[in-house]
């Protein structure tokens, strides 16, 4: 995979409170200007229902 040219932004992922939201996390995707582009709530273990 080629290396990106210039600033590309990035992403961060954090688990949510395991008492209130067990097995879930939030993912932020940032632009090069460090603005949140995408916000996703997802399961940590996607191998179950």
pLDDT tens, residue by residue, 10-29: 999 999 999 999 999 999 99
Q: How many domains does the chain have?
A: 1
Mean pLDDT across 24-41: 93
Query: Minimum mean pLDDT among 3-7, 9-13, 32-36, 38-42: which range?
Result: 3-7
What is the per-residue pLDDT for 2? 61
In this structure, are residues 18 and 31 in contact, taking their beta carbons and an 8 Å threshold?
no
**Nearest CA-CA partner of 40 in 48, 22, 28, 32:** 28
In a domain, 4, yes or no: no
Which range of residues forms the domain containing residue 30? Answer: 10-43
Please classify residue 29 by burial: count the beta carbons closer than 10 Å to its beta carbon, then call 0-12 exposed, 13-18 middle and 19+ buried. Answer: middle
Torsion, Cα 18 20 25 29, to 10 degrees, reads -140
The percentage of the chain sitting over the pLDDT mark of 90, rounded to a whole number, equals 59
In a domain, 36, yes or no: yes
Domain presence at residue 49:
no
Mean pLDDT rounded to a whole number for the chain: 87
For residue 22, what is the DSSP state? Answer: T
- Is residue 1 situated within a structural domain? no
């Amino acid at each position: 995979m080629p290396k990106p040219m210039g600033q590309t932004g990035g992403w961060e992922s954090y688990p949510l409170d395991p008492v209130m939201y067990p097995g879930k996390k939030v993912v932020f995707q940032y632009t090069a200007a460090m603005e949140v582009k995408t916000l996703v709530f997802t399961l940590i273990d996607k191998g179950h229902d």
